[in-house]
Amino acid sequence: MRPLSAQRSVAGKATLIIGLVLLAIQFVAIIFAPWIAPYSPETADPINALQEPSLIHFFGTDVSGMDIFSRVIFATRINLLISVTAVAIAFVIGVPLGLAIGYYKGWGSSLAMRFFDFIQSFPVFVLGMVLVSVMGQEIWNVAIVLAVLFTPVFARLIRAEVLSLRDRPFIAAARCSGATDSAIMFQHILPNALTPAIVQISISIGMAILLTAGLSFVGAGVRMPTPEWGLMVSNGAQQMILGIWWVALFPGLAIVFSVLTFALLGDAAKQLFDPQTRSSS
């Protein structure tokens, strides 16, 4: 029988492969959307409104006559653009910030932590709605709002790792050798503190997709006729009771597909970065 660590390694690699395959499908949709989509995602055709799924309209049409399949394909660009941009901004800002407040103890570090507590004391969805309403319902504004919400997550993760590393013997040896604070922080501490933040990237992208769709669902995200999954679900939700199921179903499945992708990648990253797993392999 294989040891538990070896089984974890195999499971992590299998999960990673599945996640990468699902991610590749989404990248194909992003890159080749104009060639895959048979219709314009923003052109209304009232004559063909609420057509059921068929060989002409694979996923049917919505109340405006827009082809749902084409909108789902193009919405992949919008949702992943917003989510990946937001998490990238949060990572770039949160990691150096967490490194600084973890390494330098004092009133600045305490003030930053209290500010993070203030941001995270609000329900994420409610705070997102307020910020988007203030800044405006534009794609980049939604990305900036999500970046604000996710920055404390990365900062806290890095700070926790830095606090556990700053007093280790190898850091003391670096200080004795004459290394400056910046050298210690970026050459010795940061490389050893990045693993939790790297794992968190995939998880945060999945959360950002859900938040983006949720904000659009309640009318606080992107606006029509921009193709966006949450907005499409919102437009079709009221018609479900009338038996018009396809308008909300297919964009809803797209959300599930995309979030599942990044959940699998995050789970694979956790298993592959597990020290016990790496030592056994």
pLDDT at position 133, please?
75
What SS3 class is residue 41?
coil
pTM for the structure as a whole: 0.86
pLDDT at position 89, please?
95
Report the Cα 167 to chain-centroid distance in Å.
33
Q: What are the pLDDT tens digits along the chain (281 aa)?
A: 455 455 556 666 788 889 899 999 999 999 999 999 999 998 888 888 889 999 999 999 998 889 999 999 999 999 999 999 999 999 999 999 999 888 887 777 788 888 888 887 777 777 777 777 777 777 788 888 889 889 999 999 999 888 888 878 887 787 788 778 788 888 888 888 888 888 899 889 999 999 888 888 877 777 888 899 998 998 888 888 888 899 999 999 999 999 999 988 888 877 776 554 444 44
pLDDT at position 11, please?
63
How many residues in the chain?
281
Domains and CATH numbers, the chain: 4-37+57-280 (1.10.3720.10)
- Give the count of beta carbons closer than 10 Å to the beta carbon of residue 5: 16
What gap in Å lies between CA 188 and CA 202, rounded to an integer? 25
Q: How many angstroms separate the first and last alpha carbons of the chain?
A: 16
Residue 242 CB burial class (10 angstroms; 0-12, 13-18, ≥19): exposed
pLDDT at position 281, please?
45
Bridge partners for 61 per DSSP: 67
